[in-house]
Structure 1
């Protein structure tokens, strides 16, 4: 059942924000920047990737704040500006919309809270707030310390299959973006450049091959990494099992 729309729009000159008024009734555009949370001393931690991801708390809720950064060669001389082709085409708007779809489908992923787009001429910069998966750790961190219970590998595969069966394409499906919480529940995160597609074997298979490459990459990079090729077969069993 599709939930009623809770999204509100705030627009001021070159600033455009969308927020969920149930999750953040006291919304301010400043909340989409780390300075706000640092000033209020409500930063719970950070993670480093292409940029810094900020973990923040507000009204007993835990959120993740992420600024959109460019990668690859272009990111070396243009770190965070994108060509503006319409509000709905911005990276933040597209990810927010997809996270809302995942929430409505009941899939295990972060929920959208708010986003902002700041235009400057023909370009824009953007930020996203989403819910934080409580007491969860990514597979890289877990497997760097200990092996997984073998029963969890099919569960990871089955969870990915749930997304794929709804046509959810994850642009960067790797083991940094698969989390397990303390109840061993599986979540997928970071849906930047993801989308809902027609269900088809071609992109699904490419998604899984990307995931397999990420396991092999970390195996070669991290001493004592607790992953073997037979674990992939267990994951595949869960992925291919009919539900």
Structure 2
């Protein structure tokens, strides 16, 4: 049974934080900065994407710290500043809330730990701290090295179906945001701009089409990428059989 989130709010001038007291003790806003963890020698690694994702080891817990960055053309001119339309509408607050929903539903995804919003006039910047999936790699990294059994492809499809059946919309469902741990258990990550909505075939199909484009893109980009169209059919078989 999932423990209830002990959600706490901490506000200091223009900094607004929410954290789960059950997961993080003696919280301070500085914990949403990589510099804090670097000073405490608690950074265990990092990964590069749109920005740097930091892996944190703290009191036998493994976390992921991510700053919100803009993508696309606008990101070239404004890398991390967003229009402020209320705390509940910030990217960090919305993702924290969705991760909390996923945790309560028992879906395989990171759990929310804390978020921070720094307001600057009409704009804000934000950071999110969540749990790290232990001993897991994303599909792109795995398929760059090796193939997967048919049963694993089916499990990937069945897992995505679980999220869809609960109305969980993943804004950027791609092969980088699907992880497998050592036992090949499937996890979805990065729910920025995701939401829970009415389960409808229209957006669910669009989600799957986006994922398919992602596999094809990586296949064209990475020599020896262990993915073929037949693997998509295996994935979709698992997706449909879970209905």
Aligned to 2:180: 180
* Cα-to-partner distance string for 1:199-235 (whole Å, 9 max, x where unaligned): 1000000000000000000000000000000000000
Q: Distance in 2 between matches of 1:5 and 1:62?
A: 18
CA distance in structure 1 between the partners assigned to 2:179 and 2:18 by the alignment: 27
> What SS does the aligned partner of 2:119 have?
strand
CA-CA distance at 1:151 after TM superposition: 1.2
Partner of 2:74: 74
User: How many aligned residue pairs are there?
Assistant: 243
CA RMSD for the aligned pairs?
Answer: 1.0
TM-superposed deviation, 1:3? 5.1
Normalized against structure 1, the TM-score is what? 0.98
CA distance in 2, matches of 1:242, 1:136: 24
- Match of 2:10, SS state, is strand
Cα distance in 2 for residues equivalent to 1:5 and 1:117: 20
Aligned with 1:117: secondary structure? Answer: strand
Runs of 5+ in structure 1 lacking a partner? none
Which residue matches 2:64?
64
Could you say what secondary structure the match of 2:239 adopts? Answer: helix
Deviation at 1:4, TM superposition (A): 3.7
Q: Structure 2 CA distance, aligned partners of 1:5 and 1:112?
A: 9
Paired residue for 1:7? 7
CA–CA separation in structure 1 for the residues paired with 2:225 and 2:77 = 35
Matches for 1:20-35 after TM superposition, within 5 Å? 20-35=20-35
Note if 1:152 corresponds to 2:152.
Answer: yes
After TM superposition, the runs of 4+ consecutive aligned structure 1 residues lying more than 3 A away are: 1-5
Partner of 1:195: 195
2:209 paired residue number: 209
Paired with 1:69 and 1:226, the residues of 2 have a C-alpha distance of 30
